[in-house]
C-alpha cells in the first residue's frame, strides 16, 4: 500500500499548537509568544491550544484533556499542521484514548516534533500509514532567525505528494543547552563542528529505504504493547526496506545498547537497509563501554551501514525526517545528505 501524505502547508494556512506531553511553564511563556510571532511573520496563522500554556508533574494536563485537544486539532479542517511546543515524558498515556479508527479514516495532517512527540508520530505512522515529520519543536521557532537546517521545516511541510526534498548535514551544532536556558527566545548556540561518522570507518556510504524512527528513549516503551505494529507496517508499506533513524537523550552507552537490543529482539530491524543515529544528548560512557561499542554490538553482524553523530534530535540543528518517505542517504567524508521522495 502507498504511504498517505498530508496536504502541503501553504501561506496563510493555520498551524495548531497543542501539548500531548509537556506544556510550557509560566516562566517560559515567552517562547510560545515569540514563536507565534516568528511563524506568523513567515505568512502562516497560529492557534495555540490550552494545553500548551500549562504544566504540572511533567504533563500539560490530564491525559484525557491532552488526548481530546489533540483529536480536536486533528479533526479540525481549519488546521493544516500541528506542531507541539516540545516533548516531555508521558505522551504514551494518551495512546489508548485516541480514536485510531477515526484517524485512519480522516485525511492525514502534518504533525511535526521530536523527543517524546516522536512516540505519537511513530504510532500515528505505523498504525495509519500516514506520513509524519520528525523535526523542530514549536518553541525552537522563537529564535529571531532560523538557521539553514532548522528552517527546512517549511519546505518539507510544503512539499506535495510526489515531491522531493534534499537536506544536508550542518556545519556546526549546539553541544549544550546552557546558553539557551539563560537566554530564552534567542536561538541556538552552535559551538562544535559537525562530523557524521561511519561505524565501519569507511569514508563513503550510500543506502536507501523508507524512513522510520524517533527518540530511542521513548520509543522503547512501545515494545510489547498494542501500539507496536512495526512489523505489520513494514510488510504493508515498506517492502523496499527501512532506513531507521534513532536518537537519544539521557541514556548512557549501556542503556542505548539495551534499548537497541530490545528493538532488535522485537524484530524491528529485520528489514533495515541502513541506520542513522543522531548525536547522543546528555550522554556518558559506561567505563570503557562506549557508544561505538553499543552500535557495533547491535549492528555489526547485520552487515548494514550505520552512520552516527547525524543531525537528528536533542543536539540541534536537526534535519526534518519524514516517517514513510522513501529516502536516499549519501555519506562522504564526515558530511552527508538525505534525499526524501514523497512516493
Strand 272-278: give its sheet, edge to edge.
164-168, 335-341, 326-332, 204-215, 242-247, 272-278, 306-310, 197-198
* Cα(329)–Cα(319) distance, integer angstroms: 12
Q: What pLDDT sits at residue 137?
A: 98
- If asked whether residues 157 and 100 sit together in one domain, one would say yes
Q: Which helix (H) or strand (E) holds 330?
A: strand 326-332
Using 70 as the pLDDT threshold, list the residues of the chain that sit under it: none
Residue 295 in any domain: the answer is yes
Boundary-marking domain end, from 131, 161, 191: 161
Same domain, 148 and 273: no
What does 229-254 look like in DSSP terms, one character per residue? -HHHHHHHH-TT-EEEEEE-BS--HH
Asked whether residue 7 is domain-assigned, the answer is: no
The answer to whether residue 137 sits within a structural domain is: yes
- Examine the domain organization and report whether 286 and 315 are in the same domain: yes
Distance of CA 87 to the CA centre of its chain: 10
Q: What pLDDT does residue 217 have?
A: 93
Q: What is the CATH number of the domain that holds 214?
A: 3.50.30.60
CATH code at position 46 = 3.40.50.10740
- Residues 206 and 301 grouped into a single domain: yes
Same structural domain for residues 140 and 262?
no
Inside any domain, residue 4: no
Task: Say which residues have a Cβ less than 8 Å from residue 262's Cβ, sequence separation at least 6.
Answer: 220, 223
Does some domain include residue 120?
Answer: yes
- Residue 202 and residue 335 in one domain: yes
Given 121, 140, 161, the domain boundary residue is 161
At 91-134, the pLDDT tens digits run 999 999 999 999 999 999 999 999 999 999 999 999 999 999 99
Asked, for residue 123, whether it belongs to a domain, the answer is yes
Same domain membership, residue 321 and residue 282: yes
Query: What is the per-residue pLDDT across 229-261, written as a single tens digit (0 to 9) for each?
Result: 999 999 999 999 999 999 999 999 999 999 999
**Using the 8-state DSSP alphabet, how is residue 4 labeled?**
B
Name the phi and psi angles at 303, rounded to 5.
70, 25
Q: Does any domain span residue 75?
A: yes
| Residues 240 and 180 grouped into a single domain | yes
Q: Are 104 and 75 contacting, i.e. CB atoms less than 8 angstroms apart?
A: no
Q: Verify that 22 and 137 share a domain, yes or no.
A: yes
Please name which of 313, 320, 310, 321 lies closest in space to residue 282, comparing C-alpha atoms: 313
Residue 109, pLDDT score: 97
Look up the domain containing 145 and give its range: 14-161
What was the pLDDT predicted at 122? 98
Q: Count of domains in the chain?
A: 2
Compute the distance between CA of residue 114 and CA of residue 179 in angstroms, rounded to an integer. 21
Query: What is the pLDDT at residue 204?
Result: 97
Amino acid at each position: 500500500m502507498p504511504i498517505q501524505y498530508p496536504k502541503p502547508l501553504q501561506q496563510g494556512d493555520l498551524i495548531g499548537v497543542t501539548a500531548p506531553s509537556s506544556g510550557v511553564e509560566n516562566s517560559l511563556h515567552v517562547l510560545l509568544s515569540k514563536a507565534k510571532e516568528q511563524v506568523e511573520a513567515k505568512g502562516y496563522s497560529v492557534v495555540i491550544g490550552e494545553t500548551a500554556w500549562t504544566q504540572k508533574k511533567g504533563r500539560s494536563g490530564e491525559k484525557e484533556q491532552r488526548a481530546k485537544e489533540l483529536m480536536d486539532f486533528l479533526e479540525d479542517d481549519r488546521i493544516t499542521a500541528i506542531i507541539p511546543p516540545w516533548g516531555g515524558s508521558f505522551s504514551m498515556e494518551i495512546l489508548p484514548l485516541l480514536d485510531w479508527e477515526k484517524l485512519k479514516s480522516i485525511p492525514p495532517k502534518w504533525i511535526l516534533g521530536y523527543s517524546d512527540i516522536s512516540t505519537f508520530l511513530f504510532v500515528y505512522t505505523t498504525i495509519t500509514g500516514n506520513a509524519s515529520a520528525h523535526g523542530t519543536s514549536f518553541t525552537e521557532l522563537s529564535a529571531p532567525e532560523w538557521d539553514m537546517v532548522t528552517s527546512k521545516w517549511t519546505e518539507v511541510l510544503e512539499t506535495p505528494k510526489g515531491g522531493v526534498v534534499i537536506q544536508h548535514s550542518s556545519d556546526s551544532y549546539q553541544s549544550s543547552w546552557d546558553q539557551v536556558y539563560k537566554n530564552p527566545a534567542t536561538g541556538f548556540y552552535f559551538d562544535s563542528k559537525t562530523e557524521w561518522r561511519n561505524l565501519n570507518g569507511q569514508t563513503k556510504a550510500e543506502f536507501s529505504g523508507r524512513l522510520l524512527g524517533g527518540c530511542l528513549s521513548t520509543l522503547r516503551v512501545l515494545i510489547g504493547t498494542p501500539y507496536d505494529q512495526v512489523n505489520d507496517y513494514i510488510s504493508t508499506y515498506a517492502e523496499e526496506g527501512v532506513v531507521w533513524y534513532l536518537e537519544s537523550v539521557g541514556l548512557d552507552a549501556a542503556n542505548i545498547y539495551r534499548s537497541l537490543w530490545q528493538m532488535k529482539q522485537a524484530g524491528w530491524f529485520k528489514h533495515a537497509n541502513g541506520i542513522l543515529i543522531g548525536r547522543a544528548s546528555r550522554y556518558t560512557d559506561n567505563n570503557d563501554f562506549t557508544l561505538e561499542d553499543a552500535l557495533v554490538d547491535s549492528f555489526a553482524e547485520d552487515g548494514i551501514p550505520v552512520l552516527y553523530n547525524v543531525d537528528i534530535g536533542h543536539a540541534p540543528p536537526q534535519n526534518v525526517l519524514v516517517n514513510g518517505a522513501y529516502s536516499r542517504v549519501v555519506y562522504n567524508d564526515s558530511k552527508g545528505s538525505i534525499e526524501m521522495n514523497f512516493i
